[in-house]
Amino acid sequence: MRTCRHTVDLMRGVPLDPIRPEVEVLRDGRRIQVVRASLYADEVEVARSTTLRMRVGDTPNPVDPVRTAHAEDDPHPMPDEPVELSMVGVGVPGFLRAVELRQEGAYRSGAPGLLWLRLHNEMVEGHPTSPFVRLAAIADMASMAAQYLKPDAWITVNADLTVSAFRDPVGDWVGLRGLHKNNGDGIGLSDAVLYDLGGRVGRATASILIEPR
């Protein structure tokens, strides 16, 4: 089985305190599995996810690189030097201290938002980070990749995250090519193509809540 889609709904702010996981297998078929996981702070559910896993086929199916080609398939160049991002009122948040980030163009300059990131540490100490977990952790940056709203005037919060992949990423680096769209009514959508150094691996989307600061 390989994970091919992971959706997280962020129900509440997650405190910097111990949290309790609950995991339930909703479907345990020979070809498809669906798993639900929730995180609780005390007895309050703060996040919920569903994960779709599919069986890897024994017989290779035809792959036509010409008829499936798209302009976004090739990864964008990786800049040579890392950059450091900060957030208003926070400085450099904990997650950004855990990654090396390289960016093409200025931060919050709009679409396309072009980022490359890699994790410094294991996601869970003592356990190797799987390729999809690495992809999903970095895909959370989709909501920031192409943002253009001034952070001292506007708060943008992703209320969910969906990561879909047709193959696992290879290597440590994950790239994002992001777009941000909104209709001026406080609801937006961030959409990012995900890459490894060899090419496209999937897509991430996030629903964005926009409020004046």
Q: Report whether pLDDT(95) > 80.
A: no
pLDDT at 31: 96
pLDDT at 89: 56
Q: Tell me, what amino acid is at 19? A: I
Average confidence (pLDDT) over 12-28: 92
Distances from the Cα of 130 to the Cαs of 39, 42, 97, 138, 167, in angstroms?
A: 20, 28, 20, 13, 13
The tens digit of pLDDT for each residue in 180-201 reads 999 999 999 999 999 999 999 9
pLDDT at 77: 85
Q: Are 16 and 41 in contact (CB under 8 A)?
A: no
pLDDT at 111: 65
The tens digit of pLDDT for each residue in 33-91 reads 999 999 999 999 999 999 999 999 999 999 998 998 898 898 888 888 777 766 555 55
The tens digit of pLDDT for each residue in 104-148 reads 766 666 667 788 999 988 888 899 999 999 999 999 888 888 888
pLDDT at 87: 58
pLDDT at 106: 64
Q: Report whether pLDDT(172) > 60.
A: yes
Measured CA to CA, the distance from residue 163 to residue 51 in angstroms comes to: 10
Is the link from the previous residue into 21 a cis peptide, with omega within 30 of 0?
no
pLDDT at 91: 55
Residue partners of 91: CB distance under 8 A and separation at least 6: none
pLDDT at 96: 73
Residue 97 CB neighbour total at 10 angstroms: 11
Domains observed in the chain: 1-57 (3.10.129.10), 78-213 (3.10.129.10)
Q: CA triplet 204, 206, 211: central angle to 5 degrees?
A: 155
Q: CA triplet 48, 52, 57: central angle to 5 degrees?
A: 165
Q: Report whether pLDDT(166) > 80.
A: yes
Locate 211 and state its tokens: 């409020």
pLDDT at 94: 65
